[in-house]
């Protein structure tokens, strides 16, 4: 763009395609100036004036959308694109108008549809339907010769639906239409969707991210399973009275978002039962499982006590004084001495905090493995359950669910918590146990809330900020 050229919008709209050839100001120069002028007034408008102007702007935007597609159509019919690197209208639009392949294709398809169907163009131009509606009609209705042959006869019906419904509804109706006049293509579309299936599971620095795509059939199973897990998770949640903030603490708001509920339900209702139920195929002689590897010393001290690794400082001092026999500073020992989380059938270990290690070992199966200084196992103890089934049953009966104030998730969704961790001398007994749901078990460990046996004999949590307020 030339310095001092004020017709930015027009120049952008005409694009780099012809900018080197034309020095003429854009045809839209006036419009751009007018829009800039109105933008300057926005803050001074009353609500009613803003609302009236919004209606006008929306109508003009529809006209601009329409004009834009007519220009795309003209570019295609002018054959100017033969000069583009790949010699297609799509590549011309990509090279000169900042579109990606999919965007250019969608513009070209919509432009052709407007040209072929006058009613469609009139409906878009007058703002009765949106560009999204045109995209649906163009992509579903013009997908092949068979549909194109029948589209005109149904156009009035589709435009009518578009006038009164969002694009998603129009897509469903047109999909049903296509299924009847063109069943083989819709079956092929389904197959294409099936071929696009994927599930990415990425281990990131601070967690694991999951992203996926499934065809409708697989997706329905996912939704059915998730909904089942969700309803189980929340069915016995007592409806908290409005304004009840008992579950709220410093780091954790009382309310849980829908996405968080879905994540919890996925783990507690689908993943945990799969791992614990013994249904998953074993590999290398062991069932899939999650392990926490932690030196006993890390569990023996209460969490939250910072400890500077003195032995490492001493090692550094010795090394810099030149009297160390080894010139390797104990970095690996530092890593080995930290709690690690791993899976029995997947990639390596992730470092986790002592807080997480203590929480996860509250209620689990323990294999005690003694290793020699070189890291080789020299003794393997028998597997122990921290809470044996009879004790867990009694705890379920006593606490009846998560004991965090305002929660009450059922025992099936709760974990057994050692009030004083077993590695710190706490007994595995009813007097030293409390039921907590996953969220509140996290919270109790991370925020260091006090858990005790209340006067009614049940465990209770004294939330720290409540104590501070009193």
In the complex, the residues that contact Zn ion under the rule CB under 5 A are 359, 362, 402, 404, 407, 409, 417, 437, 440
- Dump the DSSP string for 295-353: -HHHHHSPTT-----HHHHHHHHHHHHT--S--S-SHHHHHHTS-EEEETTSS--EE--
Contact between 439 and 449 (Cβ < 8 Å): no
Which of 125/237 has CB closer to Zn ion? 237
Minimal distance in Å, beta carbon 406 to Zn ion? 8
Burial class (CB in 10 A: 0-12, 13-18, 19+), 399: buried
Q: H-type helices in 117-215, by residue range? A: 118-125, 131-141, 145-164, 167-181, 183-195
Which of 94/449 has CB closer to Zn ion? 449
Minimal distance in Å, beta carbon 381 to Zn ion? 22
Which of 112/464 has CB closer to Zn ion? 464
User: What CA–CA distance (Å, rounded) separates 313 from 233?
Assistant: 48
Which of 10/405 has CB closer to Zn ion? 405
Minimal distance in Å, beta carbon 361 to Zn ion? 8
Minimal distance in Å, beta carbon 324 to Zn ion? 40
Minimal distance in Å, beta carbon 239 to Zn ion? 15
User: For 198, phi and psi rounded to 5 degrees?
Assistant: -160, 160
Contact between 449 and 464 (Cβ < 8 Å): yes
Which of 32/440 has CB closer to Zn ion? 440
Which of 387/404 has CB closer to Zn ion? 404
215: left (phi over 0), alpha (psi -120 to 50) or beta: beta
What are the residues whose beta carbons fall under 8 Å from the beta carbon of 32, sequence distance 6 or more? 6, 7, 8, 9, 10, 26
Minimal distance in Å, beta carbon 306 to Zn ion? 21
119: left (phi over 0), alpha (psi -120 to 50) or beta: alpha
What are the residues whose beta carbons fall under 8 Å from the beta carbon of 448, sequence distance 6 or more? 303, 304, 464
Instruction: Report the interhelical angle of 47-78 vs 101-116 (nearest 10°).
Output: 90
Contact between 7 and 26 (Cβ < 8 Å): yes
Minimal distance in Å, beta carbon 279 to Zn ion? 27
Which of 179/272 has CB closer to Zn ion? 272
Which of 229/407 has CB closer to Zn ion? 407
Minimal distance in Å, beta carbon 436 to Zn ion? 6
Q: Of 431, 437, 438, nearest to 459 (Cα)?
A: 431
Minimal distance in Å, beta carbon 362 to Zn ion? 3
Contact between 230 and 260 (Cβ < 8 Å): no
Contact between 465 and 246 (Cβ < 8 Å): no
Tokens linked to 152: 């005109």
Which of 168/258 has CB closer to Zn ion? 258
């Amino acid at each position: 763009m030339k310095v001092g050229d004020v017709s930015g919008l027009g120049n952008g709209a005409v694009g780099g395609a012809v900018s080197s050839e034309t020095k003429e100001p854009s045809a839209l120069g006036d419009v751009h100036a007018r829009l800039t002028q109105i933008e300057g007034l926005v803050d001074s408008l009353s609500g009613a004036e803003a609302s009236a102007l919004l209606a006008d702007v929306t109508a003009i935007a529809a006209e601009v959308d329409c004009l834009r597609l007519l220009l795309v159509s003209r570019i295609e019919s002018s054959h100017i694109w033969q000069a583009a690197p790949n010699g297609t209208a799509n590549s011309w639009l990509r090279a000169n108008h900042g579109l990606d392949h999919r965007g250019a294709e969608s513009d070209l398809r919509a432009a052709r549809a407007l040209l072929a169907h006058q009613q469609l163009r009139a409906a878009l131009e007058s703002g009765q339907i949106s560009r999204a509606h045109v995209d649906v009609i163009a992509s579903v209705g013009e997908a092949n010769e068979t549909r194109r042959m029948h589209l005109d006869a149904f156009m009035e019906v589709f435009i009518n639906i578009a006038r009164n419904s969002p694009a998603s509804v129009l897509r469903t109706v047109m999909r049903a239409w296509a299924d009847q006049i063109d069943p083989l293509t819709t079956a092929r579309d389904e197959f294409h969707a099936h071929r696009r299936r994927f599930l990415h599971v990425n281990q990131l620095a601070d967690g694991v991210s999951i992203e996926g795509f499934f065809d409708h059939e697989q997706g329905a199973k996912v939704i059915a399973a998730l909904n089942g897990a969700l309803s189980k998770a929340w069915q016995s949640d007592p409806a908290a009275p409005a304004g009840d903030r008992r579950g709220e603490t410093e780091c954790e708001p009382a309310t849980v978002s829908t996405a968080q509920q879905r994540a919890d339900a996925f783990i507690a209702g689908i993943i945990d039962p799969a791992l614990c139920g013994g249904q998953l195929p074993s590999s290398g002689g062991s069932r899939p499982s999650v392990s926490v590897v932690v030196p006993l010393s890390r569990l023996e001290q209460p969490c939250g006590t910072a400890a500077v690794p003195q032995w490492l400082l001493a090692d550094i001092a010795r090394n810099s004084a030149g009297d160390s026999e080894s010139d390797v500073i104990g970095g690996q020992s530092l890593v080995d001495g930290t709690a690690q989380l791993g899976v029995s059938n997947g990639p390596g270990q992730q470092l986790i905090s002592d807080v997480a290690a203590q929480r996860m070992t509250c209620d689990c199966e323990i294999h005690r493995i003694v290793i020699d200084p070189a890291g080789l196992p020299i003794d393997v103890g028998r597997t122990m359950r921290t809470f044996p089934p009879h004790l867990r049953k009694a705890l379920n009966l006593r606490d009846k669910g998560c004991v965090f104030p305002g929660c009450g998730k059922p025992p099936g969704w709760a974990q057994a918590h050692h009030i004083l961790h077993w590695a710190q001398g706490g007994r595995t007994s009813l007097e030293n146990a409390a039921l907590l749901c996953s969220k509140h078990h996290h919270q109790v460990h991370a925020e260091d809330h006090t858990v005790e046996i209340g006067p009614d004999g049940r465990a209770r949590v004294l939330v720290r900020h409540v104590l501070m307020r009193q």
